[in-house]
Amino acid sequence: MTSATSPNPAPVFDIRALTYVTHVDDNLCCPICQSPLVEPFTTSCRHTFCSECITNALKASKTCPVDRTPLDTKNINMAPVVLANLVNDLTVLCPNHRDGLGCTATLPRGNVEGHLKEDCLYVTVACPGCEEKIMRKDLQDDVCVHVEEECSYCSGMHRKLDMKEHETVCPGLTTPCKFCGNECPRPQIPNHEAICDEAIVSCDAASVGCPWHGLRKESTDHSTSCPLMHIRPLLEENNSRLANLEHENKLLRRRLELSLVARAQTDIAESMDDQTIRVLTEQEHIRSDLERLYVSMQEMDIKQNMLSMHMSDNMRTKEEVAMIGAAVNNLRTQLHGLQLLMFRRQGLDQNGSGGARPTGASSQAGDNSVLGHARRMSDMPSGDRVKL
Amino acid sequence: MANLPKRIIKETQRLTEEPVPGINAVPHEDNLRYFDVSIHGPSQSPYEGGIFRLELFLPEDYPMCPPKIRFLTKIYHPNIDRLGRICLDVLKSNWSPALQIRTILLSIQALLGAPNPDDPLANDVAQKWKEDEKTAIETARQWTRTHAMS
């Protein structure tokens, strides 16, 4: 199943995973693995299996897997050569056909091992220069493909391995134009295609509905005969006017919507009922009443201030009256003292001359009246005080 | 899929492309060795009309050892126990690597059509089968209606 490993080791491949190109008769398949027989062996009871399959089966049970005849390894022998040749001649795809590796070879199953060992380009082998793994298809003259070298067209440095891929895009090379087939330097391809006579173009009037497609060199002829080309300026002008009108229409519509909204709001205001108006009037009245109340409150405040001023004036007057009363008392005491002094002097005078008595009496009466008057005067403040 | 032997891939393909009438086996997407199986009860048997669900698992060394199969639907049968385990020689000592999923499922379908109370797994059922076969078959029919026809 596996191939030799040197000098270029071929990969191990699963022979039962091979894809057969044609349908394989069930009689050529092993009853155990159900794949086309691999190294067929036949039992003494004449059933045939792959050598690997029957060996494993006998490890599990010493009977024939098909008819349960007792068997041992000594009861199995290589199948006839004709059978081995039949299965080895079945056509298969190269195992590297799968996984996108891309070998397209179809070959007899018996040749697969040799193909992988010698020919298949999609087998990994060692690079002759540096031992890195590369595919056989990338081998070049027994030299290392990982060394960079100069591209002979663009002077860029690339690995030998990548050179072929580089050449497909190298700017130093020409490429045939996909329209006219003329070789053209790669960087100039876009410029060339823009003027290439063989390029497929559409009519200049395609924007106004001309379906014509054709070679660029024929487009001039078409243009002269294309009716849409003649009316194209007119159509384009109309189109632009239409676009302007649509734009304007949109603006007007928006403005109209706005004014409709405003109008609706006015209508709502007008449709307010009498009750609302009454409530509003009432509210106005209440507001003016409140203002009047406020004004009168302010007046009251002023009056109260004036009253408290009067009160303090009163207090001051009272204090003054009290002070005057005190002064009067003081004066009365002094007057009393003076009267005593006068009485004493009169007494001294009467002791000196009796003739002078009536005068003294009258003067005493006069003094008394003065005294009584003074007493009444001094009583006055106290009477006032009570009254106050 | 990478470690799945070519034989299992082939068997699965063939089960899908050429299904056996009355037998359906579908592998799980996340485990291609695990199959959901359903078997129609054979006609002329007390299991007729029922659809019996089973689980089937292919062990690592399949086909050198037999697949593991168990009934999931309750069934009244002398060779199938309460847990759904099946007494069938080809699933045990008489397994052969030349047998396949489809042949094993056909054997199980045949076992439903031909109960064998002399090699029982469910002793009470086998006993009943031997003593009063008519009643046993009626019970099997009743169980089929109850468990395999919903």
Q: B132 lies in a domain?
A: yes
Q: Is residue A17 within 8 Å of residue B6, measured between CB atoms? A: yes
SS3 B150: coil
Q: Is residue B47 within 8 Å of residue B112, measured between CB atoms? A: yes
Active-site pick, B23, B87, B121, B125: B87
pLDDT confidence of residue A2: 39
Query: pLDDT of A18-53, one tens digit each?
Result: 889 999 999 999 999 999 999 999 999 999 999 999
SS3 A228: helix
Q: Is residue B121 within 8 Å of residue B112, measured between CB atoms? A: no
- The dihedral built from the CA positions of residue A304, A305, A306 and A307, taken in this order, carries a sign that is positive
Q: B1 lies in a domain?
A: no
Q: Chain B contact for A56, CB < 8 A?
A: yes
Q: Band of the pLDDT at A352, cuts 50, 70, 90?
A: low
pLDDT at A161 over 80: no
Q: Number of helices (H) and strands (E) in chain B: give both, helices first.
A: 4, 4
The domain in which residue B52 lies consists of: 6-147
pLDDT at A360 over 60: no
Whole-number Å distance between alpha carbons of A69 and B119: 24
Q: B59 lies in a domain?
A: yes
- The dihedral built from the CA positions of residue A140, A144, A146 and A150, taken in this order, carries a sign that is negative
Inter-helix orientation angle A227-270/A216-225, to 10°: 70
Q: Number of helices (H) and strands (E) in chain A: give both, helices first.
A: 9, 13
Query: pLDDT of A289-326, one tens digit each?
Result: 999 999 999 999 999 988 888 888 889 999 999 999 99
Number of structural domains chain B divides into: 1
- CA of A16: which chain B residue's CA is closest? B6
Q: Band of the pLDDT at A378, cuts 50, 70, 90?
A: very low
Residue B87 catalytic? yes
pLDDT confidence of residue B8: 94
pLDDT confidence of residue A100: 62
pLDDT at A128 over 80: no
pLDDT confidence of residue A368: 46
In degrees to the nearest 10, what's the CA dihedral of B66, B67, B73, B79?
0
Q: What is the CATH number of the domain that holds B137?
A: 3.10.110.10
Of A131, A218, A149, the C-alpha closest to A179 is A218
The partner residue sitting opposite B6, judged by closest CB among A35, A57, A59, is A35
pLDDT confidence of residue A353: 54
Query: pLDDT of A214-263, one tens digit each?
Result: 888 888 888 888 888 888 888 888 889 999 999 999 999 999 999 999 98
pLDDT at A273 over 50: yes
Q: B97 lies in a domain?
A: yes
What would the two tokens of residue A113 be? Answer: 């091992």
Amino acid at residue number A234: L
Q: How far is CA A165 from CA A148, A169, A170, A176, A177, in A?
A: 14, 7, 9, 18, 20
- CA of A59: which chain B residue's CA is closest? B64
Q: Is residue B58 within 8 Å of residue B67, measured between CB atoms? A: yes
The partner residue sitting opposite A68, judged by closest CB among B6, B61, B96, is B96
Higher-confidence residue of A346 and B110: namely B110
Determine which of A86-90, A138-142, A198-202, B125-129 has the lowest per-residue pLDDT on average.
A138-142
- The complex's ipTM? 0.84
Q: B115 lies in a domain?
A: yes
pLDDT confidence of residue A272: 67
Output the tens digit of pLDDT for each of chain B's 150 residues: 457 888 999 999 999 999 999 999 999 999 999 999 999 999 999 999 999 999 999 999 999 999 999 999 999 999 999 899 999 999 998 999 999 999 999 999 999 999 988 887 777 888 888 899 999 999 999 999 999 997
H or E element at residue A71: none
